[in-house]
Structure 1
Amino acid sequence: MIRHLGSSLTDVTYVFDEPTIGLHPHDIERMNDLLRRLRDKGNTVLVVEHKPETIGIADHVVDLGPRAGTEGGEICFTGSVEELRSSDTLTGRHLGDRAALKPSVRKPTGKLEIRGATRNNLRDVSVDVPLGVLVVVTGVAGSGKSSLIHGSIPKGANVVSVDQSAIRGSRRSNPATYTGLLDPIRSAFAKANGVKPALFSANSAGACPNCNGAGVIFTDLAMMAGVATVCEQCEGKRFQAEVLEYKLGGKDISEVLSMSVREAEDFFGGGGVRNPQAHAILDRMADVGLGYLTLGQPLTTLSGGERQRLKLAIHMAEKGGVYVLDEPTTGLHLADVQQLLGLLDRLVDAGKSVIVIEHHQAVMAHADWIIDMGPGAGHDGGRIVFEGTPAELVAARSTLTGEHLATYVGGA
């Protein structure tokens, strides 16, 4: 952005896809200033964004929806920010949302000791991270949050790190295969039809012989980019025609894999076929806000935030442990943040310790304990500038985070 501001070019269209990812509210203010300066040079600036701070500086807003996945894809609103606020779209209704500070916070059940941490820019940091509560680690971008949590927690602490990195697997992998959901589905189909479960796998005996169960034919065009065309034999359904003759609750296997998580939840909850094992996995996927994903959707089409929530859905089945989530609000619409806070509460109430590296003020306000890194970034960071409850942070206003959180919760 700085490089383009120094350019003499004008009348250029810039497209930014969620530029606030990884940014503290203080950094978002500075980024908003850069966006305005790019516009004022005579350029067009298009921003794909969820953060209200950035939506608020727009000259014109285009709101897509009404919801996600197959329930979206329509333009619900175009106009000014003020017109958006008074509109009845999901974004308009939630644009003014503010999470309140909790009247009381949970008491820790133990502590995770970090001693003398010096990774990257950390300056001999020692801290006790409370366990059995919701802990938020925050601070400006580059202040040392990830170095402290990902890089300095002692080995053997039973920590499960749920990040946004790519999920290993081929383009054949999908939410059903990755979560283990396909196993009970295949078993149910096999039992209902008196055949072997392998027939209901597109990577095994039931695969279409023409496309080998991929659903598409890939053609290598040498020096040009390869192309993928829908398989004419199975019409993209991935299975042999004979396999599609077998039904479960009136649906064949390709129809089940075309269902959204929410639809499948109803289907396996008794709406078509009762299957407690499949329903439990689907419940967890819906719990993390992925109710709109289709079961057979390739994992390669998922965003970083969706991948993180899919991993979390799997780990939710495990007992005990410490969960570390890295910016779980990434890619989340304003309406979904409240659902995420409910999920974090349920994890803690189920006996898990949750540590969240996060900049979103709604998550900070909802925390039981905050560890604020800073005071600046890089060489100016690497220290803990505050430890305590969100209410104490707001009252002290001694850090950049405290100032922004106080403004957010109405303490300005």
Structure 2
Amino acid sequence: MAPLLTGLRQLLDSFTEIGLGYLSLDRPAGTLSGGQAQRTKMIRHLGSALTDVTYVFDEPTIGLHPHDIRRMNDLLLRLRDKGNTVLVVEHKPETIAIADHIVDLGPSAGTAGGTVCFEGTLDGLRHSATTTGRHLDDRTTLKASPRTPSGTLSIRGAATHNLRDVDVDIPLGVLCVLTGVAGSGKSSLIHGSVAGRDGVSPIRGSRRSNPATYTGLLDPIRKAFAKANGVRPALFSANSEGACPTCNGAGIIYTELGVMACVESTCEECQGKRFQASVLAYPLAGRNIAEVLAMPVAEAQRFFSEGEGRNPAAHRILGRLADVGLGYLSLGQPLTTLCGGERQRLKLATQMGDKGEIYILDEPTSGLHLADVEQLLGLIDRLVDTGRSVIVIEHHQAVMAHADWIIDLGPGAGHEGGRVVFEGTPADLVADRRTRTGEHLAAYVNA
């Protein structure tokens, strides 16, 4: 019995060490976020007696506070020290810093990437001319003059999940960052008390939705094809008249196998292009509709900027997508294949063209390269400067430093959290330093 109890204690200790101490043991695996699932997987392998195994983790720091990243790094090193190989796809400098060997791909995204730009040590990367090397030590300074709120959004008695009758006033007309360690109650506060109000809605998408349909980009594209060929715009929608009759415009045939997982296969009729062959015969500047929807945003920007393909309406929307760091996404890529951060930035790009109210972004820096964070902050500033109120749930120190107002939840996770431990400007948080967020933000800005 004693060995069993010892093993259970070690397993539960690992959950706490990696920042998952707030999870209940009966929680369904399907409700875990990507980062939570990866960390749970990491814990399982820590207790394994296997060695000489290769582990691959894709952005395990997603959803982690700087305090939790430090603990996760320790677990990655423990996996390595057991005689295993650990491969990590990551953008966070804190995790890049512990690597024994770094491979930097680029030089850009999408079709402009795919090349190994650097291989070597952290010091070598820091002195390289790559985009990652140049931005590795970037630090955002504290905002000198925070904006003045135009009003407040009052929350009273919030008690969703671990929240303890939280009363807080969220300032409007500014960039407000909600932060705190993983599991402290940030998402519970926003989704339980704010998300149901007018003007706040999360991005949703199905297998048939893509960046072109979600942003409204498909409308000017369809009209341009129709005008160039003298036919109806409906022909150039895979959800309408032009859809392949075999797969109904999905490009994929889904076969249900009862209790087994659904099997996907490329449609033999349209070869995954989603449109009827007759529709693909109509060109615009030498490209058919399937070829245009297969373009990355950056390529489509050039296509619609000049010559026969020139389309100012489409170009404006594509410009906003590029501004939020989504220049590598294909116009027809299903929304179900986008990560959470990509969906948040897609939502942000769309809202840049709307009349604004209150907008919530949940970790928009997820999956974002160091070089693109500053660009994202500039875009959020533009959103706020046009009268919107932006509430961001975020752990990235650059976003915290750039905020007009910070609400820090904690002090810990789960039953140890659920309280507002700080409200004020980033400068006040750094000066206070009593919270974990304050400590890490002060270290980030070298205060």
Partner of 2:283: 247
Aligned-pair CA distance for 1:29: 0.7
User: Are the structure 2 counterparts of residues 259 and 154 from structure 1 closer, same or farther at C-alpha, using a change threshold of 3 Å?
Assistant: closer
Aligned-pair CA distance for 1:267: 2.8
User: Are the structure 2 counterparts of residues 387 and 208 from structure 1 closer, same or farther at C-alpha, using a change threshold of 3 Å?
Assistant: closer
User: For the Cα contact (< 8 Å) 1:12–1:44, is it kept in 2?
Assistant: yes
User: Are the structure 2 counterparts of residues 235 and 122 from structure 1 closer, same or farther at C-alpha, using a change threshold of 3 Å?
Assistant: closer
How big is each residue's C-alpha offset from its partner over 1:158-201, in whole Å with a ceiling of 9 and x where there is no partner? 342446xxx4323x432222322222211221122211222222
Match of 1:160 among 192, 200, 215: 200
Give the distance between the partners of 1:209 and 1:402, measured in 2 at CA. Answer: 58
User: For the Cα contact (< 8 Å) 1:220–1:227, is it kept in 2?
Assistant: no
Please state whether the residue corresponding to 2:446 is helix, strand or coil.
Answer: coil
The aligned amino acid for 1:313 is A
User: For the Cα contact (< 8 Å) 1:245–1:252, is it kept in 2?
Assistant: yes
Please state whether the residue corresponding to 2:442 is helix, strand or coil.
Answer: helix
User: For the Cα contact (< 8 Å) 1:221–1:227, is it kept in 2?
Assistant: no
**1:204 to 2:240 alignment:** yes
Aligned-pair CA distance for 1:328: 0.7
Please state whether the residue corresponding to 2:200 is helix, strand or coil.
Answer: strand
User: Are the structure 2 counterparts of residues 148 and 270 from structure 1 closer, same or farther at C-alpha, using a change threshold of 3 Å?
Assistant: same
Give the distance between the partners of 1:118 and 1:227, measured in 2 at CA. Answer: 42
Which stretch has the larger CA shift, 53-62 or 13-22?
13-22
Partner of 2:340: 304
**1:341 to 2:377 alignment:** yes
User: For the Cα contact (< 8 Å) 1:203–1:212, is it kept in 2?
Assistant: yes
Give the distance between the partners of 2:142 and 2:158, measured in 1 at CA. Answer: 31
User: Are the structure 2 counterparts of residues 272 and 261 from structure 1 closer, same or farther at C-alpha, using a change threshold of 3 Å?
Assistant: farther
Partner of 1:133: 174
User: For the Cα contact (< 8 Å) 1:162–1:323, is it kept in 2?
Assistant: no
Please state whether the residue corresponding to 1:160 is helix, strand or coil.
Answer: coil
Please state whether the residue corresponding to 2:301 is helix, strand or coil.
Answer: helix
Give the distance between the partners of 2:95 and 2:147, measured in 1 at CA. Answer: 33
Aligned-pair CA distance for 1:92: 1.2
Aligned-pair CA distance for 1:243: 2.6
- Give the superposed CA RMSD: 2.3
The aligned amino acid for 2:156 is R
How big is each residue's C-alpha offset from its partner over 1:68-110, in whole Å with a ceiling of 9 and x where there is no partner? 1222222222111111111111111111111111121111111
Aligned-pair CA distance for 1:58: 0.5
Partner of 1:268: 304
Give the distance between the partners of 2:271 and 2:56, measured in 1 at CA. Answer: 35
Please state whether the residue corresponding to 2:51 is helix, strand or coil.
Answer: coil
How big is each residue's C-alpha offset from its partner over 1:95-153, in whole Å with a ceiling of 9 and x where there is no partner? 11111111211111111111122222222211111111111111111111112222123
Partner of 1:363: 399
User: For the Cα contact (< 8 Å) 2:266–2:272, is it kept in 1?
Assistant: no
Give the distance between the partners of 1:14 and 1:376, measured in 2 at CA. Answer: 29
User: Are the structure 2 counterparts of residues 378 and 182 from structure 1 closer, same or farther at C-alpha, using a change threshold of 3 Å?
Assistant: same
How big is each residue's C-alpha offset from its partner over 1:263-303, in whole Å with a ceiling of 9 and x where there is no partner? 22233333433433323322222222212212122333322
Pairing of 1:78-227 with structure 2 (within 5 A): 78-153=119-194, 156=197, 158-162=198-202, 167-170=204-207, 172-209=208-245, 212-215=248-251, 226=263
Give the distance between the partners of 2:390 and 2:411, measured in 1 at CA. Answer: 24
The aligned amino acid for 2:224 is A
Partner of 1:293: 329
Name the TM-score, length of structure 2 as normaliser. 0.84
Structure 1 regions of 5+ residues with no counterpart? none
The aligned amino acid for 2:333 is Q
User: For the Cα contact (< 8 Å) 2:254–2:262, is it kept in 1?
Assistant: no
User: Are the structure 2 counterparts of residues 204 and 28 from structure 1 closer, same or farther at C-alpha, using a change threshold of 3 Å?
Assistant: same
User: For the Cα contact (< 8 Å) 1:162–1:312, is it kept in 2?
Assistant: no
Partner of 2:21: none
User: For the Cα contact (< 8 Å) 1:114–1:154, is it kept in 2?
Assistant: no
Q: Which runs of 4+ in 1 moved over 6 A?
A: 218-225
Which stretch has the larger CA shift, 383-392 or 253-262?
253-262
**1:47 to 2:88 alignment:** yes
The aligned amino acid for 1:410 is N
Partner of 1:382: 418
Aligned-pair CA distance for 1:10: 2.2
Identity %: 74
Match of 1:28 among 69, 85, 92: 69
Give the distance between the partners of 1:272 and 1:76, measured in 2 at CA. Answer: 36
Aligned-pair CA distance for 1:397: 1.1
Partner of 1:395: 431
**1:259 to 2:300 alignment:** no
The aligned amino acid for 2:413 is A
User: Are the structure 2 counterparts of residues 208 and 140 from structure 1 closer, same or farther at C-alpha, using a change threshold of 3 Å?
Assistant: closer
User: For the Cα contact (< 8 Å) 2:91–2:370, is it kept in 1?
Assistant: yes
Partner of 2:11: none
User: For the Cα contact (< 8 Å) 2:295–2:330, is it kept in 1?
Assistant: yes
The aligned amino acid for 1:394 is V
- Alignment: residue pair count: 405
Aligned-pair CA distance for 1:366: 0.4
User: For the Cα contact (< 8 Å) 2:152–2:169, is it kept in 1?
Assistant: yes
**1:325 to 2:361 alignment:** yes
Name the TM-score, length of structure 1 as normaliser. 0.91
User: Are the structure 2 counterparts of residues 301 and 124 from structure 1 closer, same or farther at C-alpha, using a change threshold of 3 Å?
Assistant: closer
The aligned amino acid for 1:401 is T
